[in-house]
Structure 1
Amino acid sequence: MFAGAQDITQARFDRARISAVIADRQPDDPLAILRPHVLQRTAHSFLRGFPGQVSYAVKANPATDILRTLVGAGVTTFDVASVAEMHAARQALPNARLHYHNPVRSASEITQAKALGIASWSVDRMSELDKLGQLTPNTQVAVRLSLKRGGGAYDFGSKFGASPEVATDLLRAVVARGMIPALTFHPGTQCTDPTSWADYIAACAEVAQRAGVRLAALNVGGGFPAFPRGGRTLRQHLFETIASATKAHFPDQPPQLWCEPGRAMVADAMWLLLRVKARGDGVLTLNDGLYGALGEWRDMPVPARQTALNQQGHPVTGTPQPFTIFGPTCDSLDRVPDPWMLPAGIADGDYILISGAGAYSLALVTPFNGYGTREVLNLDSMAEPAGQCRPAG
């Protein structure tokens, strides 16, 4: 069975198990539905397909089950943005390699990070390099580069990253202080343009040449899209573009390549099951919203899909129509900006299954108005529904 057909078969099997949960339990609180088998398969696709080493960006989903599943799949390096994420990674794998690539830190955070044994740091300004002080031998410092170009759903360069001129000076300073030199960049989240990576790699080579520095490592960031048109074929094309660009621009001694997927790694590893609390005229109020697992919907289009299910777990019927979506809190701003197209027959007490919701969902949940608690349901630990056979592979 080829990959695309396997994905479809697995999704149907998982939906059948979710329908059984609805019929049996009638869950009234939001459910986060973990799909470890999908996460393992995605991790393998990065570990086997990317032309270098892979780290996981913990910020996308720091759930314990997510981290443990990744470790079981062979991931041993984690990109951490805070001390709390360092501890989470260490709990999942005590000897994990940690990359602290949030380039802005307090003095106390640096002290705690040093005690936890960071293997790679990033900087985008001289003052942050000065803050690091004396590092242990063989510690890598990656200068974060930012270019004025689009390509992602939103631009990470507006907050982080040095211009090529500043990056050149920083790279020289890293070497002068006896640290292992590297460069890193991020093309922007949900980036589907291969030339973004190619352009950044070319710029990194130029910065290194101007600085007179031989790079030990080049981190090509995250930004890999979840659910792009072209699916796994596009991801493989991105990997091939990264490999060929690195070979072209670093022909003699290419640096060790790293990537740090977050969204692309975990998006399809978790689904959300939400319940309709009330229906109005073209309006649905759900038991979760922008203060919960839908927080990212406020800022950008999320690559997720909604399926309406009735209280027996069967698809809701009716012609699709736009519905304004409100969350459960008393804040009128708790509203998804764009309407969702859902069947006209959806009613109070029905459910909405949101697939592709593993990234930046649980990580953004708040306790506002007393909401925020939810159960995480592991599909792999459930019994198979009657009449369903687990897909092979």
Structure 2
Amino acid sequence: MGHHKTVWDTPAELIRHLQPEHPVMAFAPTVLQDRARQFLAGFPGLVTYAVKSNPDEAVIQNLVSAGITGFDVASPFEIDLIGRMAPHAARHYHNPVRARSEIVHAVKAGILAWSVDSRSELEKLFEMVPATMNGQGVEISPRFKLPVLGAVYDFGSKFGATPDLAADLLRLVAERGYVASLTFHPGTQCVDPIAWESYIRVARDICDSAGVTARRLNVGGGFPSHRVTGVDPDLGAIFAEIGDTVRECFGDDAPALVCEPGRGLCADAFSLITRVKGVRDGTSVFLNDGVYGGLAELPIVGNLDRIEVLTPQGQPRGGDLTGRVIFGPTCDSVDRLPGELSLPADIAEGDYVIFHGAGAYSTVTNTRFNGFGLMSHVTVMALA
């Protein structure tokens, strides 16, 4: 066992041999590919990966290897990243508000699928995006919103038209000769399949109101990752609910389905290895990473409680669990995790705290605030 390995068996093996002082993000490609194949086998339509959740090139490579042929892109950078790494894949530009320079960039890149949630942005697309490109129809999907149901937080506070406005937009798209489709996003970390049902039913109402048969229906992201111990999300039940509701509501007019998972695809393929800087008077725990680093989204969506505490020798701590306040390394008092986390009572300085399921919205939001945030990346065969 040398120190020059490029692929480690588990995070525990890495800890025993390297004793890392800075945060480490451990990536298990086999876990990512298995999750991708689960989506491809279970979802009744096209699976497109939301690049924003983790744009690491190794993630893109492994998703392509697993059979993913579509990507949800939200910026010129993401458009070009997928154009370079997966040149034959579909790219859906579903950020509904864009600068004119971004539209020009996307048209030059050959983007054929767009979303919109306002009249002003639709007029911009009509002005700058042709209805056909290279002999193919260009799709515009009005994005609609409903009151949040069963999600950790509500994307509708920023994006989405009312159903009435979405019907007007859909009608205009069809009248101008574009491929008329619909899209929505139920929120993030939706563990209840019913989160999609009401959206699909309203999608049918929108089509009826507009007098338009939507070519495709993008049911968004929101697919959950495994964040809570003992509660493994039932993706199969979600896929079945989506398929059953579409068949019930649309019958022979059923649109082709698309989804755009981000977190649900990539999160569980990564574990974040942090180290205890100190245990203050036997109470609060200070880690070498926090909300300005790989744990940036926890104050928004809640704690990851799939946690493992290992000694510097890579052995699990076995003490009784007790609630602890967890602080990050910076001198900003905002740098703390929400509430408390249950950690072994015998946790000590120098121990490692591993957050499993940390692959989404972590590496991409990591900062170097206060001089911290140096994060290394490793590949492992398994995460436990």
TM class by smaller structure: over 0.9
User: What's the CA shift string for 1:34-69, capped at 9, x where partnerless?
Assistant: 010000000000001101110000111111111111
Deviation of 1:15 after TM superposition, in Å, equals: 9.8
User: What's the CA shift string for 1:194-253, capped at 9, x where partnerless?
Assistant: 222121111101111110111110000111111277636x21111111111111111123
| Cα distance in structure 2, aligned partners of 1:19 and 1:195 | 39
Calculate percent identity across the aligned residue pairs.
45
| Cα distance in structure 1, aligned partners of 2:91 and 2:367 | 27
**One-letter identity of the residue aligned with 2:71:** F
Matching of residue 273 in structure 1 with residue 273 in structure 2 = yes
2:129 corresponds in structure 1 to 135
| Cα distance in structure 2, aligned partners of 1:51 and 1:182 | 17
Matching of residue 327 in structure 1 with residue 320 in structure 2 = no
Deviation of 1:360 after TM superposition, in Å, equals: 1.0
| Cα distance in structure 2, aligned partners of 1:289 and 1:167 | 40
Query: Cα gap change, 1:331/1:44 in structure 2, threshold over 3 Å: closer, same or farther?
Result: same
User: What's the CA shift string for 1:280-339, capped at 9, x where partnerless?
Assistant: 131111111110010001112144411110010001132211221111112121111221
Contact 2:303/2:338 (8 A) holds in 1: no
2:289 corresponds in structure 1 to 288
Contact 1:317/1:346 (8 A) holds in 2: no
| Cα distance in structure 2, aligned partners of 1:289 and 1:160 | 28
| Cα distance in structure 1, aligned partners of 2:304 and 2:330 | 24
Deviates more, 1:274-283 or 1:306-315: 274-283
Matching of residue 27 in structure 1 with residue 20 in structure 2 = yes
Contact 1:156/1:188 (8 A) holds in 2: yes
1:190 corresponds in structure 2 to 189
User: What's the CA shift string for 1:112-134, capped at 9, x where partnerless?
Assistant: 11112212110000001111124
**One-letter identity of the residue aligned with 1:316:** R
C-alpha RMSD of matched pairs (Å): 1.9
List runs of 5+ in structure 1 lacking aligned partners.
1-13, 385-389
Residues 208-223 of structure 1 aligned to structure 2 (within 5 Å)? 208-223=207-222
Deviates more, 1:333-342 or 1:34-43: 333-342
| Cα distance in structure 2, aligned partners of 1:49 and 1:304 | 27
**One-letter identity of the residue aligned with 2:336:** R
1:4 corresponds in structure 2 to none
2:339 corresponds in structure 1 to 338
List runs of 5+ in structure 2 lacking aligned partners.
1-6
| Cα distance in structure 2, aligned partners of 1:293 and 1:198 | 33
**One-letter identity of the residue aligned with 2:158:** K
Aligned to 1:95, which of 88, 93, 98?
88
Secondary structure at 1:341 match in 2 = strand
2:206 corresponds in structure 1 to 207
Contact 1:304/1:357 (8 A) holds in 2: no
Deviation of 1:108 after TM superposition, in Å, equals: 1.1
Contact 1:32/1:375 (8 A) holds in 2: yes
Deviation of 1:268 after TM superposition, in Å, equals: 0.7
Deviates more, 1:309-318 or 1:298-307: 298-307
Matching of residue 165 in structure 1 with residue 164 in structure 2 = yes
| Cα distance in structure 2, aligned partners of 1:23 and 1:207 | 58
Secondary structure at 1:38 match in 2 = helix
1:10 corresponds in structure 2 to none
TM-score (norm 1): 0.90
| Cα distance in structure 2, aligned partners of 1:257 and 1:367 | 40
| Cα distance in structure 1, aligned partners of 2:118 and 2:277 | 49
1:47 corresponds in structure 2 to 40
Matching of residue 17 in structure 1 with residue 17 in structure 2 = no
Contact 1:31/1:377 (8 A) holds in 2: yes
Matching of residue 113 in structure 1 with residue 98 in structure 2 = no
1:5 corresponds in structure 2 to none
| Cα distance in structure 1, aligned partners of 2:196 and 2:165 | 20
**One-letter identity of the residue aligned with 1:311:** P
| Cα distance in structure 2, aligned partners of 1:313 and 1:230 | 26
Deviates more, 1:158-167 or 1:188-197: 188-197
| Cα distance in structure 2, aligned partners of 1:98 and 1:340 | 39
| Cα distance in structure 2, aligned partners of 1:124 and 1:326 | 39
2:3 corresponds in structure 1 to none
Deviates more, 1:301-310 or 1:312-321: 301-310
Matching of residue 257 in structure 1 with residue 250 in structure 2 = no
Secondary structure at 2:315 match in 1 = coil
Secondary structure at 2:332 match in 1 = coil
| Cα distance in structure 2, aligned partners of 1:240 and 1:181 | 25
Matching of residue 373 in structure 1 with residue 374 in structure 2 = yes
